[in-house]
Amino acid sequence: MNISQFLTIFISAVFIYNVILSRFLGLCSFVAISKETKPALAMSLAVMFVTTMSSILTWLIYRFLLIPFHLEYLSTISFILVIATFVQLVEMVIRKFAPPLYRFFGIYLPLITVNCAVLGVAVLNIDMFFVKGKAIAGSFYYSVFQGICVGLGYTLAMLLMSGIRERLELCNIPKALKDFPLAFIIASIMSLAFMGFNGFKF
Partner 1 sequence: MDKNNLLIVSTSPHLHKKDSVSKIMWMVVLALIPAGVGGVIIFGTSALRIILLSVVSALAAEALVQIFLKKKISIFNGSACLTGILLAYNLPANVPFWIPIVGVFFSIIIGKQVFGGLGQNIFNPALVGRVFLMASWPKYMTSFVKPFNVDGVTSATPLMLLKEGLSADKIPYLDLFLGKRGGCIGEVCIIGLLVGAVFLLAKGYISWHIPFIYIATVGIFGFIFGPSGFFTGDWIFQILTGGLVLGAFFMATDYVTSPLTRKGQIIFALGCGLVTVAIRFWGGYPEGVSYAILMMNAATPLIDRFTRNRIYGTGLRKS
Partner 2 sequence: MIKEFLKGLVKENPTFVLVLGLCPTLAVSVSVSNGIGMGVAATFVLLGSNTIISLIKNIIPDKIRIPCYIVVIATFVTIAEMMMKAYAPLLDRALGIYVPLIVVNCIVLGRAEAFACKNSVGKSFFDALGMGIGFTLALVLISSLREYLGTGKILGFTLAKGFEPAFIFGMPSGALLVIGLLLGFFNLLKNRES
Interface residue list for partner 2 (CB under 8 A): 24-28, 31-32, 76-77, 80-81, 84-85, 87-88, 92, 107, 110-111, 113-116, 119, 123, 174-178, 180-185, 187-189, 191-192, 195
Backbone angles phi, psi at 57, to 5 degrees: -65, -45
Q: Does 185 bind partner 1 (CB under 8 A)?
A: yes
- Asked if 200 interacts with partner 1 (CB under 8 A), we say yes
In DSSP terms, which residues pair with 135 in a beta bridge?
Answer: 130
Q: What is the DSSP letter of 65?
A: I
Shortest gap between Cβ of 76 and partner 2 (angstroms)?
4
Residue 198 lies near partner 1 (rule: CB under 8 A): yes
Q: Give buried/exposed letters for 42-76 (b at 16+ CB in 10 A, else e).
A: bbbebbbbbbbbbbebbbebbbeebbeeeeeeebe
- Burial of 97 by CB count in 10 Å (0-12 exposed, 13-18 middle, 19+ buried)? exposed
- What, of partner 2, partner 1, none, does residue 97 touch, CB below 5 to 8 Å by kind? none
- For partner 2, give the closer residue by CB, 108 or 142: 108
**Distance of closest approach, residue 63 Cβ to partner 2, in angstroms:** 21
Pick from 54, 170, 39: nearest CA to 116: 54
- Does position 197 interact with partner 1 (CB under 8 A)? The reply is yes
Rounded distance, CA 162 to CA 186, Å?
11
Contact between 163 and partner 1 by CB under 8 A: the answer reads: yes
Residue 111, contacted partner among partner 1, partner 2, none, CB below 5-8 A by kind: partner 2
Specify whether the CB–CB gap between 60 and 139 falls below 8 A.
no
Residues binding partner 1 (CB under 8 A): 37, 159-160, 163-164, 166-168, 171-174, 177, 182, 185-186, 189-190, 192-202
